[in-house]
């Protein structure tokens, strides 16, 4: 069964710093990987979708990379802002209609 792990579980950084969030998965036979943001008590906001054939995907200050063979993805956030404070979840799609989620990294950006 697919297991998705995110490290670290929590991260605090000063405003303006660049940071990297990590996601690893045990079964490399994935179709794609999606990064989400979750604010406390709220829904999931899709940030980036990266297909299994892609190595990188960018949206604004966010850059996601994927190394499918080693079962790893990273989310790079440039020039962090207090508004970036949230929990970041990665999820992999191994079946046609099923996302497996990690436990998330809770990010706090300190003004």
Q: What angle do CA 63, 88, 110 make, to 5 degrees?
A: 90
Q: How many CB atoms lie within 10 A of CB 103?
A: 13
- Shortest CB 31 distance to other proteins, Å: 5
Handedness of CA 83, 86, 106, 18 (dihedral sign): negative
By CB under 8 A, residue 53 contacts other proteins: no
> Rule CB under 8 A: which of 24-43 touch other proteins?
31-32, 34, 36, 41-43
Query: Within its chain, how far is the Cα of 36 from the centroid?
Result: 6
Give CA–CA dist 35/106, Å, rounded: 13
12, 18, 26, 46: which one binds other proteins (CB under 8 A): 46
By CB under 8 A, residue 45 contacts other proteins: yes
Please name which of 85, 103, 102, 89 lies closest in space to residue 11, comparing C-alpha atoms.
85
- Shortest CB 91 distance to other proteins, Å: 7
The window from 18-26, 61-69, 70-78, 85-93 that contacts other proteins (CB under 8 A) reads: 85-93
102, 105, 107, 109: which one binds other proteins (CB under 8 A): 102
How many residues line the site for other proteins (CB under 8 A)? 24
């Amino acid at each position: 069964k697919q297991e998705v792990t995110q490290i670290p579980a929590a991260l605090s950084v000063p405003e303006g710093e660049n940071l990297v969030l990590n996601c690893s998965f045990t079964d490399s036979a994935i179709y794609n990987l999606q990064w989400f943001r979750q604010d406390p008590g709220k829904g999931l906001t899709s940030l980036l979708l990266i297909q299994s054939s892609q190595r990188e995907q960018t949206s604004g200050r966010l850059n996601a990379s994927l190394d499918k063979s080693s079962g790893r993805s990273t989310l790079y956030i440039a020039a962090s802002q207090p508004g970036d404070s949230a929990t970041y979840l990665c999820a992999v799609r191994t079946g046609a209609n099923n996302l497996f989620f990690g436990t998330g990294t809770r990010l706090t950006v300190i003004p």
